[in-house]
Structure 1
Amino acid sequence: MALPSPSSLLLFALLASATARLPLKHLHRHNLSFHELVPTRYVQHFPQTTEPSNAPPLATVLNDVYARVYGRALIPPRPRYSPERIDFLPYLKTPSGVLPISDFGGDPTGKNDSSAAFERAIDAALPLWNGRHLAEGIKDLGGATLTLDGGIYLISRPLYIPGGYGNMHWRDGSIVASESFPADGFIITVGASPAPHFDTETATQARRLQIGDRNQFMSFSDLYVDGRDTASGVLRFTHTIGAVVGPANLFIGFHDAGVLIEGGHEFFFGDPRKPSQQTAAAIRLLGNDHVLRDVVIFSAKIGVEDRAGANTHTGVHSWNGSGTAMLVTGYSTRILDSYPDFNSIIVQNPNAVTITGGFFLGGAQIILRAHGSEPTCKGLLVRDNQFSYTDRDTVRVEGNFTKVVDTFVGASTIGRSAKLKTTRAVRQLHKENATEWLFDFSDVLVSPSIARVMYSMEIEGDGVFVRHASRPADGNRVRVETDVAVTATVIMEVDQSELLQGGVMNV
């Protein structure tokens, strides 16, 4: 029997469309069957089914026939799913990993609810598992991508990506919450079904649950997401590793946290921004080992809330008005080359925290907050920052630390009106025919106590030797005395930080 030529297949498509009095696009979109329209001599080339309603759409059928006859496809296969049915998925021999939300019944104009379309797209992505695993028990979806293709999609309920999958990506469009969206819901949750959040007052619960990682390498880029001041937040991750948020995202209209991370590790971020009258944290970290980089936060009650450990924040520009740029209650936190813009960084009970290379503008400060029954400040390094357009102290202490250990604050530059605060200071005092040299460091030291004193005395005149000593510091004041009156210059260096036994601090 003669094989059908490409021209005959095209002719058949046109005839079939004319017979049905429907355009090919309509037949394609609605997944209509052509078994009733196939000429007898071509029937053997088409996939057989016992139910005409289960037949594949025209584009898939013709592509499949052409591939069987000539060994190659006319069109690279890409599945298109109708809003009502995805039961022809088995016909797709090599389904594409790019899943447009509009192909699942989503309305890209934003007029109709597209929640079900997103859910169908997620369900369709999961069978794309390529047989490989990422981390233990996490299926590799091979880069399955849910694309919004520049559309605006309205949703009325939270979207959930189940645990156990990785290498999945969302991009290129807008998601807007409806007025009926649940007030306690996040727009998208990765790794969990509907469940209460962790207690955001502490990150210890997340660490104590001992739950393994659920998802890996999930990315969200080029998205505008508006919670319409109804949604609790935009993205919620539970025990996810290696996720990427950004670049070029704009998240607004949430009242709790723009991005919430519960457990997991190795996140990479970039970029949420503004509505007015904020009550929420733009980004809340409850997991370790994440990277927040090149982010602009345009007004939030708290720009970044970091309650875990070993997280790195680089290039974070937070313009929060009267809000807080960052709140750090964790440990081993690094804040590098960031820009608190008219708002401050608060570090609670600092523990191995580094803040360097920052630009603090318009009254922005570093606030060291003592919290709890025996608060300590340990391993804090603050240096090489610039403070401009302010008449405030560069660093301020709230409360009283019971101990300050291995800490250095200083070596920064200030504008004309700013008041530089440091943990280490040096002063020189010359007096004639005196027995006492009194130094007051209250105007420059961070806290009201001195841990270590070092001084030298240079006496005028040959052959003059006296006994001299420093007395214990009284707050931020230190006194040096001699047993007889002399003319001398005393250079006094004080440090507010203790050193651990045998410890060395080189800053």
Structure 2
Amino acid sequence: MVVVRWGNGGGDCSPRWGVSVVVAAVLVAVGSALAGADAGEVTVAGALPRILHAHVGKVHRPRPPHFSPPKIATDGALSQVSPAGTSRPSRVFHVTEFGADPTGTKDSTQAISDAVAGAMKAASPGRTLFTGIADLGGAEIHLDGGVYILRRPLRLPPSIGNLKIHGGSLVAADDFPAEGYLIELSAAATNTSSSQLNYEYITLRDLVLDANYRGGGAAIVNSLRTTVDNCYVIHFATDGVLVRGGHETFIRSSFLGQHITAGGDPAEKDFSGVAINLAGNDNAVTDVAIFSAATGVLVTGQANILTGVHCYNKATGFGGVGIHLRLPGLTQTRIIGCYLDFTGIVAEDPVELLVAGSFFLGDANIVLRSVNGVVSGVNVVDNMFSGSGKGVEIVRLDESTRRFTAVEQVVVGRNAVVGMKERATFAKGVASGEGRSWVVDFSSLLLFPDRIESLQYTLAVTGGAADAPPPVPFTAHGVRNVSGNRVVVESQVPVSATVYASVDQFLGASG
């Protein structure tokens, strides 16, 4: 037994000494005793000032703590903790636990399908998202960083939502169906109707989808609020990602290419397929790089937006198209802050199209293609164009089928152009000289031939004719002709003058 005894002495009790000092001294004494003191009594007399004796009675008997120390649960105990007091199964389904082969040696189609079936069984009874779509509660199909061979598409059962598939690679087998997709959100292989929504809030994240030149990467059909995030989609023969029907599919921070290349591939002229096929409405493609395909993004649905998309999939010179808007008469597409790298944009009969803040490199340009002769509500503004000096127009009209006859609300301008031929729908010009007629020629700049919708001009007389006596005459003048996008101004008498003209081809909405 160790006895701690305080030395005797008197002294004033000063408030600067506290109980903590006493406790510290006690700990020192006890430590010394445990270290091997010979006597059964340890004296610390004189170790502390005498003023502490007044506190000895208060600290001599230690008091129990006010709170019990926390208890650490065992693994077994933790496994049984739940809000209801009973165990709940995990909603993370590891495909390897269902027999999937992460080495890519054996077919894992059925095993991964079984994992999806397991996630469906974990759905909370009675909870739904959109009408008829079961809420799986955020269940995850975890690929555990493996590579899995699929001999047939991984088709998700219809009427499910709130599910994530992530964390690994899916590779098509050599006998994978040529018309299939590695992941199919499709109630049936031939389901092309958009009348029914079969999926909601499905997330495909952190995946490599290697179609092995057999079919495509992912098909998202009649799905609502779907996300494709941080995916690498390669070796597709048809589409990298197909979106058909439904709406609000977000494809972001992903990379797509039929062939793995960093540009300048010797086989570029043979690239085929479509990286992203948007055959639905209200979708967004954001921060995506498309490095090989005949067409980077094909849009046949309305109200889609593309931002931060870098297309160097196949050069225009080889017949490639970066972004193809193939919805004549109802485009409703916004292309903002994109990078068209040696491949351009083709818009068929565009109605309500915005191309802004984008960069066009290597003679990449915008082609407005006439199908039924309609172009309306088009804005091509604040872009940068950089070319080779070969005279390629930044915006070109393709009227090989028929001329554009229904033209209204088209604005092309405020673009920075280097090494290409500028086109615009509004312009300013100047003509100076002596005589009775001045011509300001806009034919090399205005986009539409022989079309000036409005004109403003000023004639500034600087002097009379060379053989006319002073003073400078006041003369009547007017516009005599605007055909061929050439403004002709004439004066009543010969004068030395400068004509300043401003024109545009903008025609307001007819209705």
TM-score higher than 0.5: yes
Of 405, 411, 422, 2:424 maps to: 422
Q: How many angstroms apart in 2 are the aligned matches of 1:471 and 1:333?
A: 40
Q: CA deviation at 1:421?
A: 1.3
1:143 corresponds to = 138
The answer to whether the aligner puts 1:194 opposite 2:194 as a matched pair is: no
Q: CA deviation at 1:411?
A: 0.3
Q: Which has the higher strand share?
A: 2
Contact kept in structure 1, 2:452 and 2:485, CA below 8 Å: no
User: Rg: which structure is higher?
Assistant: 2
Q: How many angstroms apart in 2 are the aligned matches of 1:454 and 1:403?
A: 24
Q: CA deviation at 1:275?
A: 3.1
2:41 corresponds to = none
Q: Could you list the runs of 5+ residues in structure 2 that have no partner in the other structure? A: 1-72, 81-85, 260-269, 464-470
Q: Could you list the runs of 5+ residues in structure 1 that have no partner in the other structure? A: 1-69, 78-91, 199-205, 503-507
1:255 corresponds to = 237
1:268 corresponds to = 250
Could you state the TM-score of these two structures normalised by the residue count of structure 1?
Answer: 0.75
Amino-acid identity (%): 35
Judge which range, 293-302 or 453-462, deviates more: 453-462
Q: How many angstroms apart in 2 are the aligned matches of 1:384 and 1:76?
A: 60
The answer to whether the aligner puts 1:406 opposite 2:409 as a matched pair is: yes
Deviations 1:58-83 (A, max 9, x none): xxxxxxxxxxxx99845648xxxxxx
2:202 corresponds to = 218
The answer to whether the aligner puts 1:282 opposite 2:275 as a matched pair is: yes
Q: Report SS of the residue matched to 2:246.
A: coil
2:451 corresponds to = 450
1:379 corresponds to = 377
Q: CA deviation at 1:463?
A: 6.7
Amino acid at match of 2:207: L
Q: How many angstroms apart in 2 are the aligned matches of 1:165 and 1:212?
A: 13
Contact kept in structure 2, 1:162 and 1:193, CA below 8 Å: no
Q: Report SS of the residue matched to 1:261.
A: strand
Q: CA deviation at 1:384?
A: 0.9
Contact kept in structure 1, 2:258 and 2:275, CA below 8 Å: no
2:90 corresponds to = 96
Amino acid at match of 1:324: V
Q: Report SS of the residue matched to 1:102.
A: helix
5 Å-filtered alignment, 1:236-385, equals 236-247=219-230, 249-270=231-252, 271-276=254-259, 277-322=270-315, 323-330=320-327, 331-372=331-372, 375-385=373-383
Deviations 1:40-72 (A, max 9, x none): xxxxxxxxxxxxxxxxxxxxxxxxxxxxxx998
Q: How many angstroms apart in 2 are the aligned matches of 1:165 and 1:490?
A: 69
Amino acid at match of 1:329: R
Q: CA deviation at 1:437?
A: 1.4
Q: How many angstroms apart in 1 are the aligned matches of 2:365 and 2:284?
A: 23
Judge which range, 211-220 or 492-501, deviates more: 492-501
Q: How many angstroms apart in 2 are the aligned matches of 1:184 and 1:224?
A: 19
Amino acid at match of 1:411: R
Q: Report SS of the residue matched to 2:96.
A: helix
2:487 corresponds to = 478
Q: CA deviation at 1:317?
A: 0.6
2:43 corresponds to = none
2:499 corresponds to = 490
Q: CA deviation at 1:448?
A: 1.5
5 Å-filtered alignment, 1:456-475, equals 456-461=458-463, 464-475=473-484
Q: Report SS of the residue matched to 1:124.
A: helix
Q: CA deviation at 1:96?
A: 1.4
Q: How many angstroms apart in 1 are the aligned matches of 2:248 and 2:164?
A: 17
**Closer/same/farther in 2, CA of residues 98 and 495 from structure 1, 3 Å limit:** same
Amino acid at match of 2:300: R
2:56 corresponds to = none
The answer to whether the aligner puts 1:170 opposite 2:168 as a matched pair is: no
Contact kept in structure 1, 2:240 and 2:256, CA below 8 Å: no
Q: How many angstroms apart in 2 are the aligned matches of 1:164 and 1:480?
A: 70
Q: How many angstroms apart in 1 are the aligned matches of 2:437 and 2:286?
A: 53
2:101 corresponds to = 107
Amino acid at match of 1:408: V
Amino acid at match of 1:326: I
Contact kept in structure 2, 1:226 and 1:253, CA below 8 Å: yes
The answer to whether the aligner puts 1:499 opposite 2:508 as a matched pair is: yes
Of 145, 152, 167, 2:147 maps to: 152
1:48 corresponds to = none
Contact kept in structure 2, 1:361 and 1:390, CA below 8 Å: no
Q: CA deviation at 1:423?
A: 1.1
Could you state the TM-score of these two structures normalised by the residue count of structure 2?
Answer: 0.75
Q: CA deviation at 1:302?
A: 0.7
Count residues with an aligned counterpart: 402
Contact kept in structure 2, 1:328 and 1:347, CA below 8 Å: yes
Q: How many angstroms apart in 1 are the aligned matches of 2:248 and 2:211?
A: 26
Q: How many angstroms apart in 1 are the aligned matches of 2:475 and 2:485?
A: 26
